[in-house]
Amino acid sequence: MTDALYLVDFFERSKSACRIITVPATVDGNIHHSYIQTAIGFDTASKIYSQLIGNMLTDSASAIKYWYFIRLMGKDASHLAVECSLKTSPNYIIVGEECRDRNESIQDIVRNLCDVIEARANVGKNFGCVIIPEGLFKQISSFNNMIVEMNSLFRGVKSQDEASELQKKLQIDAEIKLLLTPWSYSLFNSLPDFFKQQIL
């Protein structure tokens, strides 16, 4: 939608006769407007994912020894995860917006999830399915603040070499401690190495 807006703006400024028609298409379900009833792709994606989740739920219930953790697309909103959960009834769904509203930390989310797994284990059900939206970390304020700080560090980078140099610098604990706020540094330091590498 943004790309279409740039094109429209360009054609308007250049007095072109070209017109742009935009078809709202997103699997995330994150395009909202009073003139848009639904975005193309959301219904199809939710049905296909629900079918796959249903297969996993069946496998989990028949094998009675696996927990499936399924991450669904949705960078900004948990719409797809919620829709699929309504269709399939997994054992647990993490809704990013609810986590944000409750001001939960990563530790809170993990603790809640562990409570569900433990409660099921106590009744002999050591299996299940958890739905996790892709954009969960954007909804966690402490994590989002850390990402904003990281992005501001990379904003001034002008070449790939500078970016690589900054990444190497940020892998040194003493360096990153100086560049991030204490809260963001503490959160970053608590993450596994592979996760830190992905963030950088």
State pLDDT tens for residues 32-72: 778 777 667 778 888 999 999 999 999 888 888 889 999 98
Cβ partners under 8 Å of residue 157, min gap 6:
163, 166
Q: Active site includes 28?
A: yes
Structure token pair of residue 4: 């279409």
Radius of gyration of the chain measured on its C-alpha atoms: 21
Q: How far apart are CA 137 and CA 96, in angstroms?
A: 8
Given this model, what pLDDT does residue 161 score? 85
Q: Which range, of 19-23, 69-73, 84-88, averages the lowest pLDDT?
A: 19-23
pTM, entire model: 0.69
**Listed residue (138, 170, 139) closest to 153, CA to CA:** 170
pLDDT digit string, tens, across residues 118-168: 999 999 999 999 999 988 888 888 888 888 888 888 888 888 888 888 888
Q: How far is the C-alpha of 94 from the C-alpha of 181, rounded, in Å?
A: 28
- Set 3, 9, 28, 43: catalytic member: 28
Task: Say what angle helices 42-63 and 79-88 make with each other, to 10 degrees.
Answer: 50
What b/e string do you get for 39-50 counting C-beta neighbours within 10 Å, with b at 16 or more?
bebbeebbeebb
* Mean pLDDT confidence for 105-111: 89
- What are the tokens at 13? 């400024």
Which amino acid belongs to residue 5?
Answer: L
Query: Which residue carries 């797994």 as its tokens?
Result: 117
Domains (range + CATH), the chain:
42-139 (3.40.50.460), 142-199 (no CATH)
- Write down how long the chain is: 200
Indicate the average pLDDT of the chain: 86
